[in-house]
Structure 1
Amino acid sequence: MPDSAIETALAHWAPRMIQNGVDYNDLMATTSRTRTWADWLPQWNRAADEQAGFARQAEAEGHVRTAGQAWLRASVNRHFGKFVWMLDLDLAAEATRRSVTESHAALARLDPSGQHLEVNMPGGTAYANLRRPSGIDVPPYVVLIPGLDSTKEEFFWFEQSFLDRGMATVSLDGPGQGETGLSLPLRPDYETAAGPLLDLLAARTDLDHARIGVAGVSLGGYYAPRVAAHEPRVSAVAGISGPFCFGHMWDDLPPMTRQTFVVKSGARDDAEGRRIALTLDLTGVCRRITAPALYVTGERDRLIPWQQTQRQADETPDGTFVCFPEGNHGVSNLPSRARPMIADWMADRLGAASGRRC
């Protein structure tokens, strides 16, 4: 039997993995041969390597799109292998770098509009992926924000929901996240990354800077409203399964989630991790949001209680709360309902249909 950490990971994140591009057959084959948590990343690396090999074969045969799809599967397999896996930080960091490289290979073959951005921010450099919808000259755009250990490499299909509705997407790895997190620890004031990103984008003439959205998932659901409260350029914000105060749930979080927070925050131990987690607090922040805000969660969320997300909505002047009775964390078990609803709401607020066509 697999150990309890594997059972916890699958119970919490299996729907999310599939929603974000892990092939169901890869999930079944990989987990069936993984007996201990220590073997989780090595086995997912094996699955990613198999997809990367298939990508190279397809490329050699001239099947570029097939190669791009395989590179995408390799990237998400490797990403979810090191997701909240803190047993060997060097191995996890190498998986991060390889997942980024594989994601770049996928974008180059699947979406020629894709660009990798470097953002100068206090303390170092953040990284983002920009994608633009086809056939629209100057689209509005949405900054997509990952959570505690999710990354922009997880967002290809999330991005597609917005792209299909005429919005560009900019998926950001902020402090503590993905390739940015290899050198910068997480911090509660996420606007220190989002603000410089908007400054960088402001020089572009192929984006509509009067129509900017922000959307975040999980801990990104804390970051997104915080950005909206501090950044007047934001026209609409959506938070998905976000906490009001991350530290208030500390004792009820899975041990692997707490350990991940300790590592990503640069804390010395669990006690210091708790103290830092308590600084991720939206008290007095949501009241400052002037843009329309949508807060979405699931009643069966076992990581972030739905009441935490509801409090965000209650304290936001123009806040709307949607709770799916059957939904889990991130409503990732209902992607055909939640994602279109969120993207439609954002498109309506940003007037995406009015973007100038090429």
Structure 2
Amino acid sequence: MPDDRIAAALTHWGPRFTAQGVDPNDVARTIAGLERWADWLDAWCALGDLHAGLAREAEARGRRLTAGHAWVRAALAYHFAKFVWLVDLARHDAAEDRAIAALAAAHRCLDPTAERLEIPFDGAHLAATLRRPPGAARPPLVLVVPGLDSTKEEFFWWEQVFLDRGLATLSVDGPGQGETGRRLPLRHDWEAVVAAVLDALADRRDLDLARVGAAGVSLGGYYVPRAAAFEPRIRALAAIGGPLDFGALWDDLPPLTREGFAHHARARDPEEARARAARFDLGPVLGRIRQPFLVVCGQQDRLIPWRHAEEVARRAPRGELVLYPEGNHVCNNIPYKYRPLVADWLSEQLRG
């Protein structure tokens, strides 16, 4: 019988694994017989090693497409090995390094124009991936923003939905996220993050920075509207599965989520973590968001109640709610519905 943490991870995030590109058969094999949370990381890293081996073999034979897809699968496995696993931080960070390297190898094979950016911020830097659609001289740009435990290494196929519609993407690990989180803790005032990103891109001639959109998932669905309330360079935004008031949810969040927030916020104890979570409240700023704002949520979301999305859309001056009755957290059980919707909507807003 798996322990409670394994069961919680599968209950809350199982559909996310496959939505992001993990083969469901790999999920089943990886968790089969897994009973101790302490063994989670090793099981998923073994899956990553399997796909990394397939990638190297394909590259040696000159099969770049096959290799690239295998590298994406490896990156996802290494990422999900450590995404909410904080048992041993040295091993956590080692798995993260492997995810970063695997995604870089995937880009080398599948999208060699992809760029790694390191954007100066608060005495450190924000790590980001910039991708541009082929054949577009100055495409609009979509900022793709992770949540509490997602990172840019998770977003290859999510980015592709925007790229297929002629939109460039910049997936960024902000403070407390992914590799940036090793240097900078979580912060609620994401307008500072977005301002630094857009300032760093200002001199580029291969992006149309008069047409910038943003899409955030889960806690990224807080970060994006918070930033848009103060940053007019965001022309349209979408939040998927985001909270109105994260602090108000604190007592009902899964222990893995509370522990993850405390770690990424560098809180000294649970009470400090609770106090910091209370800062993540869109209520005081929703009236400032004048841009078109798409709010997407699933009515079966067990992490962020759908009423939060309903209230965000109601209180934002140009809010538009799309509620999927069957959708779970971030609607990852129906990615074929929400992803095209968000990409089409942002494309229409940025080109309208």
* TM-score category (smaller protein): over 0.9
Gaps of 5+ in 2: none
What CA distance in whole angstroms lies between the structure 1 residues aligned with 2:22 and 2:270? 31
1:90, distance to aligned residue in structure 2 (A): 1.2
Report how many residues are paired. 352
Match of 2:145 in 1: 145
CA contact (8 A) 1:122 1:192 kept: no
What CA distance in whole angstroms lies between the structure 2 residues aligned with 1:61 and 1:251? 53
1:152-167 equivalent positions in 2, closer than 5 A: 152-167=152-167
1:249, distance to aligned residue in structure 2 (A): 0.5
1:340-355 equivalent positions in 2, closer than 5 A: 340-351=340-351
Q: Which amino acid aligns with 1:74?
A: A
Match of 2:259 in 1: 259
What CA distance in whole angstroms lies between the structure 2 residues aligned with 1:104 and 1:260? 26
1:26-45 equivalent positions in 2, closer than 5 A: 26-45=26-45
Secondary structure of 1:137's aligned partner:
coil
What CA distance in whole angstroms lies between the structure 1 residues aligned with 2:344 and 2:139? 15
What CA distance in whole angstroms lies between the structure 2 residues aligned with 1:121 and 1:193? 8
Match of 1:355 in 2: none
What CA distance in whole angstroms lies between the structure 1 residues aligned with 2:97 and 2:285? 34
Match of 1:329 in 2: 329
What CA distance in whole angstroms lies between the structure 2 residues aligned with 1:101 and 1:182? 16
Secondary structure of 1:216's aligned partner:
strand
What CA distance in whole angstroms lies between the structure 1 residues aligned with 2:296 and 2:85? 27
Structure of greater relative contact order (alpha carbons < 8 Å, 6+ residues apart): 1
1:307, distance to aligned residue in structure 2 (A): 1.0
What CA distance in whole angstroms lies between the structure 1 residues aligned with 2:225 and 2:184? 21
What CA distance in whole angstroms lies between the structure 1 residues aligned with 2:96 and 2:143? 21
Match of 2:291 in 1: 291
Q: Which amino acid aligns with 2:194?
A: A
What CA distance in whole angstroms lies between the structure 2 residues aligned with 1:302 and 1:70? 32
What CA distance in whole angstroms lies between the structure 1 residues aligned with 2:153 and 2:175? 15
Normalising by structure 1, report the TM-score.
0.97
Match of 2:134 in 1: 134
CA contact (8 A) 1:123 1:184 kept: no
Structure 1 consecutive aligned stretches of length 4 or more whose deviation exceeds 6 Å: none
Match of 1:175 in 2: 175
What CA distance in whole angstroms lies between the structure 2 residues aligned with 1:281 and 1:65? 43
* Deviation per residue, 1:278-316 (Å, 9 max, x gap): 011112211111110000000000000111122211121
Secondary structure of 1:251's aligned partner:
helix
What CA distance in whole angstroms lies between the structure 2 residues aligned with 1:42 and 1:183? 25
Q: Which amino acid aligns with 2:128?
A: A
Secondary structure of 2:137's aligned partner:
strand
What CA distance in whole angstroms lies between the structure 2 residues aligned with 1:191 and 1:104? 28
State the superposition RMSD in angstroms. Answer: 1.0
1:33, distance to aligned residue in structure 2 (A): 3.5
What CA distance in whole angstroms lies between the structure 1 residues aligned with 2:132 and 2:107? 12
CA contact (8 A) 1:215 1:237 kept: yes
Q: Which amino acid aligns with 1:331?
A: C
Match of 1:304 in 2: 304
1:22, distance to aligned residue in structure 2 (A): 1.0
What CA distance in whole angstroms lies between the structure 1 residues aligned with 2:307 and 2:172? 27
What CA distance in whole angstroms lies between the structure 1 residues aligned with 2:161 and 2:68? 19
Secondary structure of 1:187's aligned partner:
coil
Secondary structure of 1:320's aligned partner:
strand
What CA distance in whole angstroms lies between the structure 2 residues aligned with 1:84 and 1:312? 27
What CA distance in whole angstroms lies between the structure 1 residues aligned with 2:47 and 2:173? 24
What CA distance in whole angstroms lies between the structure 2 residues aligned with 1:161 and 1:4? 35
* Deviation per residue, 1:55-101 (Å, 9 max, x gap): 11111111111111111101000101101111111111111111111
Q: Which amino acid aligns with 2:175?
A: P
Match of 1:235 in 2: 235
Secondary structure of 2:234's aligned partner:
coil
1:269, distance to aligned residue in structure 2 (A): 1.5
What CA distance in whole angstroms lies between the structure 1 residues aligned with 2:238 and 2:278? 22
1:177, distance to aligned residue in structure 2 (A): 0.4
1:138, distance to aligned residue in structure 2 (A): 0.9
Secondary structure of 1:136's aligned partner:
coil
What CA distance in whole angstroms lies between the structure 2 residues aligned with 1:167 and 1:297? 23
Gaps of 5+ in 1: 353-358
What CA distance in whole angstroms lies between the structure 1 residues aligned with 2:294 and 2:303? 20
What CA distance in whole angstroms lies between the structure 2 residues aligned with 1:113 and 1:10? 35
Q: Which amino acid aligns with 2:176?
A: G
1:18, distance to aligned residue in structure 2 (A): 0.5
Secondary structure of 2:206's aligned partner:
coil
What CA distance in whole angstroms lies between the structure 2 residues aligned with 1:338 and 1:79? 23
What CA distance in whole angstroms lies between the structure 2 residues aligned with 1:123 and 1:251? 34
Match of 1:244 in 2: 244
